C-alpha cells in the first residue's frame, strides 16, 4: 500500500507550490495575463459569472469550522 518516501527535493517543491498557488496576484498582473476568468466558488465552477476584477475581491471568512462564504460576483 505505502509507496516509498518521496525524495526530499520533490517534497520541498510540493511545499513551495502550496504557497505559490495561494500567493495574491496583483490586479494589474491578472489583467495583463490573457485570462477572462470564470470565477469559481470553492471548487465548483460558476459558469455564469464573469470576473470584474475590482468588484470581485471578496473576503472569505477563515476558520477551520466556518462555512465558506460564496463570493458575490458579476453575473450573480
Partner 1 sequence: MRCVFVGTPGFLGRIDGETRCAFWAEEPVDHGFDPALLIEVDLGRTPSAAVAKEIGWDEVQVDDCFTGPNGALSGTTLGPRWPELQLGGAVYLERGFLATLPAELRPACPPAGMSGQSYECMTTVYWPDGDDPRAGSRYAGHCAEILDEQGSLARVAVYPPGRSDQPDVRPVPMWIDLASPEQCDAGPDSLTTIGVGSAPKRGALFLISGHLPSQP
Interaction site with partner 1 (CB under 8 A) = 5-6, 8-9, 11-16, 18-33, 35, 37-40, 42-43, 51, 53-54, 56-68, 71, 73
The residue assigned the cell 460576483 is 73
Cβ(76)–Cβ(55) below 8 Å: no
Instruction: Name the minimum Å distance from CB 29 to partner 1.
Output: 6
Instruction: Name the minimum Å distance from CB 22 to partner 1.
Output: 3
Instruction: Name the minimum Å distance from CB 52 to partner 1.
Output: 9
The burial of 68, by beta-carbon neighbours within 10 Å (0-12 exposed, 13-18 middle, 19 or more buried), is given as exposed
Amino acid at each position: 500500500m505505502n509507496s516509498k518516501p518521496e525524495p526530499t527535493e520533490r517534497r520541498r517543491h510540493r511545499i513551495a507550490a502550496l504557497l505559490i498557488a495561494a500567493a495574491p496576484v496583483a490586479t494589474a498582473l491578472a489583467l495583463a495575463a490573457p485570462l477572462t476568468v470564470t470565477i469559481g466558488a470553492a471548487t465548483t465552477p460558476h459558469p455564469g459569472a464573469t470576473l470584474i476584477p475590482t468588484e470581485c475581491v471578496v473576503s472569505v471568512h477563515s476558520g477551520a469550522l466556518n462555512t465558506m462564504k460564496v463570493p458575490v460576483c458579476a453575473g450573480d
